[in-house]
Amino acid sequence: MSHIECPCGQGEYVQCCQPLHLGQSHAQTAVQLMRSRYSAFAKQQIDYIVQTTALGQQQALDIVAIAEWSRSNQWLKLDVVNANEKLDKNHAMVEFKAHYHDGKSAQIHHEISHFVKHTEAWYFLDPTTEMQITMKQACICGSGKKFKQCCAQFL
Ligand code: ZN
């Protein structure tokens, strides 16, 4: 039996992020979702990247660019630097460093990401996604609250 390490560094892939990528379970915390999204980049699980982005942002994602970014880098290591799972009732923050090699040199992507929980599942709030939404409209996460009173403050 070959043991394949999970890209996120928390153990064996089959017992770590793979069940999430296969839709057999879902992330219990924002940190776990963040880890599984890093692993998804490493394993080129592009559907998972899309499905774990905020519901109202999924259609605006540039899937070709995501797939290219996933494939063109060698994903070396993930460090979760800091996390706050309870910014409020349904939002969390995770600060991380993703170490990768772009074919020419080693790089570190340092990011503070925000996440929203909706119907028991966590989603990534993508600050780069173009959104045609006003502050008074229903939030992109599906909470039913106004955007202004929900995810807008974390984007
Ligand atoms: Zn929201």
pLDDT tens per residue, range 20-47: 999 999 999 999 999 999 999 999 999 9
Query: pTM value?
Result: 0.96
Q: What is the DSSP string of 88-129?
A: SSSEEEEEEEEEEE-SSSEEEEEEEEEEEEETTEEEEE-TTS
User: In whole angstroms, what is the distance from residue 123 CA to residue 54 CA?
Assistant: 5
3-state secondary structure the chain: CCCCECCCCCCEHHHCCHHHHCCCCCCCCHHHHHHHHHHHHHCCCHHHHHHCECHHHHHHCCHHHHHHHHHHCEEEEEEEEEEECCCCCCEEEEEEEEEEECCCCEEEEEEEEEEEEECCEEEEECCCCCCCCCCCCECCCCCCCEHHHCHHHHC
Q: Would you state the structure tokens that stand for residue 141, as one six-digit string?
A: 């996460």
Q: Is the pLDDT of residue 106 over 90?
A: yes
Return the pLDDT at 130: 85
Q: What is the DSSP letter of 141?
A: T
Return the pLDDT at 1: 55
| Radius of gyration of the chain measured on its C-alpha atoms | 16
* Distance between Cα 29 and ligand 1 center (Å): 17
Question: To the nearest whole number, what is the mean pLDDT of the chain?
Answer: 96
pLDDT above 70: percentage of residues in the chain? 99
Mean pLDDT of 95-108: 97
* Distance between Cα 106 and ligand 1 center (Å): 35
* Distance between Cα 138 and ligand 1 center (Å): 8
* Distance between Cα 53 and ligand 1 center (Å): 12
In the block, which residue shows the tokens 């999970």?
A: 6
* Distance between Cα 116 and ligand 1 center (Å): 7
Return the pLDDT at 131: 84
pLDDT tens per residue, range 37-83: 999 999 999 999 999 999 999 999 999 999 999 999 999 999 999 99
Residue 11 confidence class, pLDDT cut points 50, 70, 90: very high
* Distance between Cα 48 and ligand 1 center (Å): 20
User: In whole angstroms, what is the distance from residue 60 CA to residue 37 CA?
Assistant: 18
pLDDT tens per residue, range 110-144: 999 999 999 999 999 999 998 889 999 999 999 99
User: In whole angstroms, what is the distance from residue 41 CA to residue 105 CA?
Assistant: 18
